[in-house]
């Protein structure tokens, strides 16, 4: 049985001295309030995290992350089934890390935290090619 990704992430952050708040809310630059699964803080560093499993949830996360410009945010994407749509979304959303197993999650968490602590908040616009189809009228 695999561990819950949220509790694994919270334990990881607490073990590294972070103050952790679950079901956190934050107001973005737009003035809209957004919910994140986790808010982690340590000194001046803040990090907002979500655990997502669908393309729709990943894209919703991306919208929230854009509204927080400059504040580190990270989507931990649990892959249950690889689809072309998910692969394209992961390619376009640079602040998302995918995992299939709890072991993979435990491997990526230190790497993700190191990037965030180094100031590498991956909220850079990505060049995304796509097969978006336009409606024909």
Q: pLDDT of 43-89, one tens digit each? A: 999 999 999 999 999 999 999 999 998 889 999 999 988 899 999 99
Q: How far apart are CA 19 and CA 38, in angstroms?
A: 10
Q: Which helix (H) or strand (E) holds 96?
A: strand 96-99
- Give the pLDDT confidence of 31-43 residue by residue, as tens digits: 999 999 999 999 9
Q: How far apart are CA 81 and CA 118, in angstroms?
A: 32
Structural domains in the chain plus CATH codes: 5-117 (3.40.1350.10)
Burial zone of 115 (CB within 10 Å; 0-12 exposed, 13-18 middle, 19+ buried):
middle
């Amino acid at each position: 049985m695999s561990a819950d990704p949220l509790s694994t992430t919270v334990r990881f952050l607490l073990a590294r001295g972070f103050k952790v708040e679950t079901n956190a809310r934050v107001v973005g630059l737009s003035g809209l309030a957004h919910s994140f699964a986790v808010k982690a803080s340590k000194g001046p560093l803040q990090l907002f995290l979500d655990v997502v499993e669908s393309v729709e949830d990943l894209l919703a996360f991306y919208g929230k992350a854009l509204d927080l410009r400059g504040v580190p945010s990270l989507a931990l994407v649990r892959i249950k089934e690889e689809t072309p749509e998910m692969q394209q979304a992961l390619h376009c959303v640079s602040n998302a890390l995918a995992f299939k197993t709890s072991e993979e999650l435990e491997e990526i968490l230190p790497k993700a935290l190191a990037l965030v602590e180094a100031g590498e908040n991956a909220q850079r616009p990505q060049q995304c090619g796509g097969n978006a189809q336009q409606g024909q009228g």
